[in-house]
A and B are shown apart, each in its own frame.
Chain A
Amino acid sequence: MAAAPLREQLSALLSSMFSQGLVDEQFEQLQMLQDEGGTPGFVAEVVTLFCDDAERIIAEIATLLEQPIVSFDKVDAFVHQLKGSSASVGAQKVKFTCMQFRQFCQEKSRDGCLMALAVVRNEFYDLRNKFQTMLQLEQQIQAYDPKQQ
């Protein structure tokens, strides 16, 4: 079936994401909820929400860190928010980098924060790319095989 290679690709992608620690069992739970719960598109919905929200938060943090006087409390609040989001979706690496980021916030180190922000941003972009690939593959597979795979 034409979808087979696509399926394989998707499967490999997900495996690597798990093994690299990009996503954790929380993400797995979401997948289960989708597959077993019969709610197709659930993962796509959540992942999309996460990506949009994370993007916004990262932008806000960047702006805050550019201020002459940085309000670390606000930055910390945003980082906390991002941490919660990433935890909810199962974005493990992003979550961990957020935890580190909070350390810098507590230390009130602008440089540390800037560095942590860069790391978070990279991790997030990486994850987002993979998510997007995953969603695309899923869509293609579905096109071949209307029944949710």
Chain B
Amino acid sequence: MAPAEEVGGEFPVGMKVLVVDDDPTCLAVLKRMLLECRYDATTCSQATKALTMLRENRRGFDVIISDVHMPDMDGFRLLELVGLEMDLPVIMMSADSRTDIVMKGIKHGACDYLIKPVRMEELKNIWQHVVRKKFNENKEHEYSGSLDDTDRTRPTNNDNEYASSANDGADGSWKSQKKKRDKDEDDGELESGDPSSTSKKPRVVWSVELHQQFVNAVNHLGIDKAVPKKILELMNVPGLTRENVASHLQKFRLYLKRIAQHHAGIANPFCPPGSSAKVGSLGGLDLQALAASGQIPPQALAALQDELLGRPTNNLVLPGRDQSALRLAAVKGNKPHGEREIAFGQPIYKCQSNAYAAFPQSSPTIGGMPSFSAWPNNKLGMADSTGTLGSMSNSQNSNIVLHELQQQPDAMLSGTLHSLDVKPSGIVMPSQSLNTFSASEGLSPNQNPLMLPSQSSSFLVAMPPSMKHEPVLANSQPSTSLLDGIDLVNQASTSQPLINTHGGNLPALVNRSSNVIPSQGISTFQTANNPYLVSQNSMGVGSKQQPGVLKTENSDSLSHSYGYIGGSAPMDSGLLISQSKNTQFGLLQSQDGLTGSWSPLQNVDNYGNTIGLSHPGSSSSSFQSSNVALGKLPDQGRGKNHGFVGKGTCISSRFAVDEIESPTNNLSHGIGSSGDIMSPDFFGFSGQM
């Protein structure tokens, strides 16, 4: 239906409302009342169905009214998810008027809380929430685009209002500003020389890429230190305002918290403790990570990561249970969380670290991406397990998942990588993260940061192709080589804590890619919404890819990759995707020369492309090669990166192909192909893609 404004030009006529309640009587009454208010009402008796509807058509609704007590999903949960994924105003409703419950609603982000029976007068006013939200978002965009009057008539508004285009660049999101805003006189103020030409200050759509960048930035800074201003700087996204970032950060934090809690409750379904192998371990780790992610404060996570790194990874399962890994693991899909939450990439990071950690070689330096291994093992669902990453996201966001799946395999790989030992988890991570992302975001974490070719996420671009590879590795998992490769990647990712930081050993860079993972310390993010995580890598990607610095920290970011995705987290894969992308790149960063100089991950243009671990050849250390592979994500040229992605989660093909040059480990692409991911090529970037 045309946006409210378009209907006769009188707002709020025609405003689209979605009502979710299991009580048929109430639904009928509300629908009638809303019609009486001249809104366009849609009713739904199941929360899960409502979520699907929303995901499929983000711009199809302006406001949601949801009951608190529902049989298939808690109303608060739906509230969170909608807020994170779609950023739509949600009004809670219940016959329960107890103050503590109402408080809970507000804390979860409800715009309002109505007590049944809902009266017409109350319904007549709900348009305020829609306008307020848009208004605030527009304010945040002060620097972005100007609200030209001409823009008001932008016809696509309706459609783009909530542009959640995962693939759209920032511009797109801003362009989609809500028409409603047009009516506001603020438009005039919003003029700014924003690159998004004439885009009014549309509300920012946190696409996967954007989110990934965000996550990367946060990871990079460390969840504790992540302040909007710095994040904004790191992200370096034109048109984005500090306010945008601030509000997004807030949500992200909430998300992480929720995830943590959520995970805490989730026993590692994934991996049997001690299962060294890949999946098993990761799974366990993941859970832990997941749990950790949510609950574990950043410091704790870091500690875990350290632990992981320090621990000899026997199965990578995250020695310490990297939180990140846990997260990743969890996200990956081990926990088929319905929610994306897990996807927040955190797991991704973790996994990576684990992967590294697991690997003896993984140098603890990796930033403790301990979790990576754990994660990959879990298969983050990607590769192995159900491709959870990819699959997870699939379930979640099936749309994105596909993309991500591709990526995911990386993620998975990374996860598995850990277990392998070398697990390129680093690399994998990215993908994993992707998974998580996707899971949560529906982005299908698979996106393997590296591979995310599709994602055009401008932000993530960095997605080290290696990341993609990783997933491949992960798939094959047991290939520790993946981790190796990932490591490389991670390492390459220098700044990217992405995944790779895993132990760094991973010659396979595979982990490297993890570097890509927004190692930014995103670990903490992991818990948070996956959507945010997605960008984690992004940060790493663009940012300083410190050569050789495998910042494992990023692993967190990788984990952020919302790798959660596995968890079916609602995270729209979109976010994840972006994340994964980043992560991927992060990994790749590495090595420019393979020999150690990790070229900044950014290579990944598509996310995975850049990862150009181009040095696959030289990598004397598998690491490098892996990096190369990762970093190489041949970027751009490689296009192949996408290849990984395309591989469908199994980057293994990629990796396998690549013969993982890394001599060392086999980075074995364990992911998909027992090949080692490590070889820089393995990501195929080197040319294979």
Complex: chain B residue closest to A47, CB-CB:
B25
Is A88 within 8 A of B69, CB to CB? Answer: no
Of the candidates B95, B116, B117, B120, the one having the most CB atoms from chain A within 10 angstroms of its own CB is B117
Q: How far is the CA of A144 from the CA of B444 in the complex (A)?
A: 62
Within 8 A of A (CB), among B267-304: none
**Residue in A39, A50, A81, A83 whose beta carbon sits within 8 Å of that of B32 in the complex:** A39
Query: Does A89 lie at the interface of the complex (its beta carbon under 8 Å from any beta carbon of B)?
Result: yes
Complex: chain B residue closest to A27, CB-CB:
B117
Query: Does B188 lie at the interface of the complex (its beta carbon under 8 Å from any beta carbon of A)?
Result: no
Stretch of A10-18, A29-37, A110-118 on the interface side:
A29-37
Q: How far is the CA of A87 from the CA of B69 in the complex (A)?
A: 15
Is A53 within 8 A of B25, CB to CB? Answer: yes
**Residue in B29, B69, B118 whose beta carbon sits within 8 Å of that of A46 in the complex:** B29
Is A29 within 8 A of B24, CB to CB? Answer: no
- The contact string, 1 if C-beta is below 8 Å from chain A, for chain B 10-49, is 0000000000001111101110110110000000000000
Is A89 within 8 A of B25, CB to CB? Answer: yes
* B residues contacting the other copy or chain, number (CB 8 A): 22
* CB of A83 to closest CB in B, whole Å: 5
Q: How far is the CA of A112 from the CA of B344 in the complex (A)?
A: 47
Is A87 within 8 A of B95, CB to CB? Answer: yes
Complex: chain B residue closest to A79, CB-CB:
B95
**Residue in B24, B29, B96 whose beta carbon sits within 8 Å of that of A30 in the complex:** B29
* CB of A97 to closest CB in B, whole Å: 14
Is A37 within 8 A of B32, CB to CB? Answer: yes
Complex: chain A residue closest to B30, CB-CB:
A88
Query: Does A42 lie at the interface of the complex (its beta carbon under 8 Å from any beta carbon of B)?
Result: yes
Contacts of B94 in A (CB 8 A): 84
Is B116 within 8 A of A88, CB to CB? Answer: yes
Is A46 within 8 A of B36, CB to CB? Answer: no
Q: How far is the CA of A33 from the CA of B29 in the complex (A)?
A: 10
Complex: chain B residue closest to A84, CB-CB:
B95
Query: Does A49 lie at the interface of the complex (its beta carbon under 8 Å from any beta carbon of B)?
Result: yes
Is A88 within 8 A of B23, CB to CB? Answer: yes
Within 8 A of B (CB), among A73-96: 77, 80-81, 83-85, 87-90
Is A88 within 8 A of B29, CB to CB? Answer: yes
Query: Does B119 lie at the interface of the complex (its beta carbon under 8 Å from any beta carbon of A)?
Result: yes
Q: How far is the CA of A90 from the CA of B116 in the complex (A)?
A: 10
Is B36 within 8 A of A87, CB to CB? Answer: no
Q: How far is the CA of A32 from the CA of B509 in the complex (A)?
A: 70
Q: How far is the CA of A89 from the CA of B515 in the complex (A)?
A: 58
* CB of B137 to closest CB in A, whole Å: 33
Is B28 within 8 A of A45, CB to CB? Answer: yes
Is A77 within 8 A of B69, CB to CB? Answer: yes
Is A83 within 8 A of B95, CB to CB? Answer: yes
Is B36 within 8 A of A90, CB to CB? Answer: no
Query: Does A26 lie at the interface of the complex (its beta carbon under 8 Å from any beta carbon of B)?
Result: yes
Contacts of B67 in A (CB 8 A): 84
* CB of A121 to closest CB in B, whole Å: 18
Task: Known A80-B95, A80-B96; judge A85-B36 contact (CB<8 A).
Answer: no
Complex: chain A residue closest to B26, CB-CB:
A88
Q: How far is the CA of A85 from the CA of B23 in the complex (A)?
A: 7
Q: List 11 A-B contacts (CB under 8 A).
A: A30-B29, A33-B32, A37-B36, A46-B25, A49-B25, A49-B28, A80-B95, A84-B26, A84-B116, A87-B117, A88-B116
A: residues with CB less than 8 A from B are 26, 29-30, 33, 37, 39, 42, 45-46, 49-50, 53, 77, 80-81, 83-85, 87-90
**The 8 A-B residue pairs with the shortest CB-CB distance in the complex, in nearest-first order:** A84-B95, A88-B26, A87-B117, A50-B25, A26-B117, A85-B25, A87-B116, A49-B25
Q: Give me 19 other A-B pairs in contact (C-beta within 8 A), A30-B32, A88-B25, A89-B117 excluded.
A: A29-B120, A30-B29, A42-B32, A46-B29, A49-B24, A49-B25, A53-B23, A53-B25, A80-B96, A81-B69, A84-B23, A84-B26, A85-B23, A87-B95, A87-B116, A88-B26, A88-B30, A88-B116, A89-B29
